[in-house]
């Protein structure tokens, strides 16, 4: 083997190997350079990302700080991990100085925690700061890691110091308003009592004076005094009712009541005023209306008195009608008049407080302008509505709708008049129309005539209703024209003409009715045909009932500190046939009531007296009464609030009579409580008579 060739081969082999290694090194170096470039690019990207994150965090912090809310984070051990600038500024330290601490602000007071549906909870804290105490509303949110475990609690707070101050001011203002309202109520109660006390004497003495022998001029003056007192009393009642409604203290007393009696009672109260103006006043209750309803009869009566009273006040010719019907399960009462009507622009205004139908200084009718406002609020309180339909110059119809349910127990219905023929002879328009409607609703055939000349000459009638306002000559002519053609004649008179009935009975009148006519009286006066002769002679139900008196004279203890009122009560009792004994205060009343030497049948107790008031006296009497003895005590007071009635009953009194005293109401109360014969009668009476108005 050639050594040179071998060496050359080996050298060539090494050269090839070296070239291969060098090529590999070049390839590796290229790969490393590429990786280095990629890494440098990644590092640069990461650097940019870090810079962006730092900028984002800075922007986020600036945004959080700019919010103005306080933000602080704590870990599970309660150590602060983050606090924004607002929170740091509140506690007076830099944000970094708060990190790692467990406390940040000093809490003075904290409200109860409120737990929210999203898992957060909130509370208000009153904290101490360098600038004074502040209120902070905190809301704490849980911050959980990827494994669902609770890592931190982030708390966001908002300064509500001004809101708390406003709430405190509002609470203080509300307290002042409530105090002012209470003071106003006390003031009105006091003023009412102080006005009613002398008013009781004025009206009562005027009524007693009218019952004495007076010249016509003196009687006119006395009646004017009494009428003025009644107007003042109505004004006081309206102001008191308005005050109660404004204060939200008006409660309803739901109980069964008879609608017809209520409506007819309202008409009878307004009858003298209407007839004094030569107006008709009539009522009608449709037969399909339940006779007994559930509701507050006192408030309904008040509304009807307001509406019908206004109708009588503003109507100068024609009349006023009160009609009750049933529509869609509701009671509908319409009060219609033939008055001047209301201008369209004034229809809603008249229901506002202190507004009058006549808004000028030349208005002819006095009043506070509260009646309609009170009525609408009362109707709304009872769940109903009150509106008006009116045509200027032709009259108005005020309609109230009330969702009153029928009572469980209903009285027996009044009789039908099927098959009877009734003649109505009257020059008026309103009342005959209402009477005709009522008679037709009960099955009668009705023929109306405005004068005797309009009566058909060939007709026979079961009953003829003749209006006394035709005049004496026309009534006589009507009786002559109907001679032999009518079974029964009934004269319709106003209360003022009641004294003339006896003379007309001698001229052939068989019965009579007083206007406004009651439904029961109307049915009684038109009896069905009797076989073999005419019907019996039923009298008006009101005239069959004698004046209310007790079975025997009562010995009545009168506890009253006002001498004039005491004199009035004593005179009223004496006129009713009773024996009054007067004491000046509650302590004397207790001694007299418990004195066995002079047993009394009843006590009339004034509620406000010096030294010992009526409530205290009643409690002492009840506490010291002998076993089995219950002496009726009737409260006398000028206060008309419901609380006063409740206080009287709670003190052991049996009934409540307001001043000014009404003689008929006093007589009714004495008749009910006076003749006590047994304890059972006494207990039953107290159970049935809760608080009398």
Averaged in consecutive runs of 10 residues, what is the pLDDT profile of the chain (693 residues)? Answer: 73 76 77 80 74 61 63 85 82 82 82 81 85 86 79 85 86 82 68 71 79 78 74 68 62 85 85 86 90 88 87 90 92 93 81 53 46 83 90 90 90 85 89 90 90 86 90 89 89 81 80 86 78 41 37 84 84 87 90 87 88 89 81 80 76 82 77 55 40 36
Q: How far apart are CA 641 and CA 187, in angstroms?
A: 12
Residues 306/237, Cβ–Cβ less than 8 Å? no
Residues 6+ apart with CB under 8 A from 415: 442, 523, 528
Assigned token pair, 409: 């127990």
Q: What is the Cα–Cα distance from 420 to 25, expressed in whole angstroms?
A: 139
- Asked if 641 and 607 touch (Cβ cutoff 8 Å), the reply is no
* C-alpha span between 350 and 343 (Å, rounded): 10
Alpha helix locations (H) across 442-548?
A: 472-481, 501-506, 519-525, 541-544
Work out the angle at residue 281's Cα, subtended by the Cα atoms of residues 364 and 327, and round it to the nearest 5 degrees: 110
Give the integer Cα–Cα distance in Å for 501 and 633. Answer: 41
315 Cβ partners below 8 Å, 6+ apart?
277, 279, 337, 338, 339, 340, 395
Q: What is the pTM of this model?
A: 0.54
SS3 509: coil
* DSSP state, residue 315: -
**What separation in angstroms does the CA of 455 have from each of 259, 429, 513?**
35, 16, 21
d(CA 499, CA 675): 32
What confidence score (pLDDT) does residue 65 get?
58
The answer to whether 500 and 485 have CB atoms below 8 angstroms apart is: no
CB 618 within 8 A of CB 636: no
Q: What is the DSSP letter of 487?
A: E
pLDDT for the residue 549: 41
Our separate counts of H helices and E strands in the chain read 19, 24
Q: Please, what's the b/e burial string for 619-638 (b: 16 or more CB within 10 A of its CB; e: otherwise)? A: bbbeeeeeeeebbbbbbbbb
176, with CB counted inside 10 A (0-12, 13-18, 19+), is exposed
Distances in Å between the Cα of 210 and the Cα atoms of 223, 484, 547 are: 7, 45, 19
Buried b (16+ CB within 10 A) or exposed e, 453-487: eebeeeeebbbbbbbbbbeeebbebbbebbeeebb
- What is the β-pairing status of strands 132-144 and 150-159? antiparallel
Residue entry with tokens 């204060």: 247
**So what's the pLDDT on residue 353?**
56
Distance CA 67, CA 69 (A): 5
Instruction: Using alpha carbons, select from 523, 513, 85, 21 the residue that is nearest to residue 285.
Output: 523
pLDDT, residue 510, reads 86
User: Which residues are paired to 514 by β-bridges?
Assistant: 493
């Amino acid at each position: 083997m050639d050594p040179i060739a071998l060496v050359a081969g080996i050298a060539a082999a090494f050269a090839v190997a070296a070239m291969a290694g060098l090529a590999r090194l070049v390839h590796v170096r290229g790969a490393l350079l590429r990786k280095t470039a990629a890494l440098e690019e990644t590092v640069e990207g990461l650097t940019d990302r870090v810079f962006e994150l730092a900028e984002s965090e800075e922007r986020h912090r600036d945004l959080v700080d700019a919010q103005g809310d306080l933000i602080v984070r704590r870990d599970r051990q309660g150590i602060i991990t983050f606090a924004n600038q607002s929170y740091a500024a509140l506690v007076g330290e830099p944000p970094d100085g708060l990190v790692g601490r467990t406390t940040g602000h000093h809490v003075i007071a904290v409200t109860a925690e409120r737990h929210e549906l999203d898992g957060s909870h909130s509370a208000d804290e009153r904290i101490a700061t360098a600038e004074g105490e502040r209120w902070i509303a905190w809301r704490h949110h849980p911050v959980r890691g990827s494994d669902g475990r609770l890592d931190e609690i982030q708390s966001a707070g908002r300064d509500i110091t001004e809101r708390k101050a406003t709430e405190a001011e509002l609470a203080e203002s509300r307290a002042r308003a409530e105090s002012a309202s209470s003071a106003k109520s006390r003031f009105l109660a006091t003023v009412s009592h102080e006005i009613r006390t002398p008013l009781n004497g004025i009206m009562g003495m005027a009524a007693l004076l009218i019952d004495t022998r007076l010249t016509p001029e003196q009687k006119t003056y006395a009646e004017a005094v009494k009428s003025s007192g009644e107007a003042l009393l109505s004004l006081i009642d309206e102001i008191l009712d308005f005050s109660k409604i404004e204060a939200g203290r008006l409660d309803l007393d739901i109980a069964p009541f008879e609608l017809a009696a209520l409506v007819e009672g309202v008409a009878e109260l307004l009858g003298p005023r209407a007839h004094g103006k030569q107006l008709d006043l009539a009522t009608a209750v449709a037969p399909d209306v339940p006779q007994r309803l559930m509701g507050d009869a006192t408030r309904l009566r008040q509304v009807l008195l307001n509406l019908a009273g206004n109708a009588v006040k503003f109507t100068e010719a024609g009349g006023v009608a009160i009609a009750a019907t049933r529509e869609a399960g509701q009671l509908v009462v319409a009060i219609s008049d033939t008055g001047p009507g209301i201008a369209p622009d004034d229809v809603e205004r008249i229901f506002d407080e202190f507004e009058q139908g006549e808004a000028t200084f030349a208005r002819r009718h006095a009043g506070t302008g509260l009646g309609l406002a009170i009525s609408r609020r009362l109707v709304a309180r009872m769940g109903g509505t009150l509106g008006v339909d009116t045509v200027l110059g032709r009259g108005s119809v005020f309609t109230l709708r009330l969702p009153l349910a029928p009572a469980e127990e209903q009285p027996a219905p009044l009789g039908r008049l099927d098959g009877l023929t009734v003649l109505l002879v009257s020059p008026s328009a309103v009342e005959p129309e209402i009477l005709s409607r009522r008679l037709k609703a009960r099955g009668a055939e009705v023929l109306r005539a405005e004068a005797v000349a309009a009566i058909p000459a060939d007709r026979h009638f079961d009953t003829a209703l003749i209006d006394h306002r035709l005049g004496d000559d026309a009534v006589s002519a009507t009786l002559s024209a109907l001679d032999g053609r009518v079974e029964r004649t009934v004269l319709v008179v106003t209360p003022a003409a009641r004294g003339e009935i006896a003379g007309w009975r001698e001229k052939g009148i068989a019965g009579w009715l007083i206007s406004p006519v009651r439904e029961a009286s109307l049915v009684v006066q038109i009896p069905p045909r009797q076989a073999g002769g005419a019907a019996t002679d039923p009298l008006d139900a009101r005239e069959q009932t004698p004046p209310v008196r007790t079975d025997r004279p009562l010995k009545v203890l009168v506890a009253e500190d006002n001498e004039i009122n005491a004199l009035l009560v004593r005179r009223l009792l004496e006129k009713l046939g009773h024996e009054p004994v007067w004491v000046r205060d509650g302590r004397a009343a207790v001694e007299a009531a418990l004195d066995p030497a002079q047993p009394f049948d009843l006590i009339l107790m004034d509620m406000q007296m010096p030294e010992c008031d009526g409530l205290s006296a009643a409690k002492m009497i009840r506490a010291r009464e002998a076993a089995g003895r219950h002496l009726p005590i009737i409260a006398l007071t000028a206060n008309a609030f419901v609380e006063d009635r409740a206080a009287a009953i709670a003190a052991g009194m049996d009934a409540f009579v307001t001043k000014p005293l009404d003689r008929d109401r006093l007589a009714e109360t004495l008749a009910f409580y006076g003749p006590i014969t047994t304890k059972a009668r006494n207990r039953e009476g107290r159970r049935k008579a809760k608080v009398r108005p």
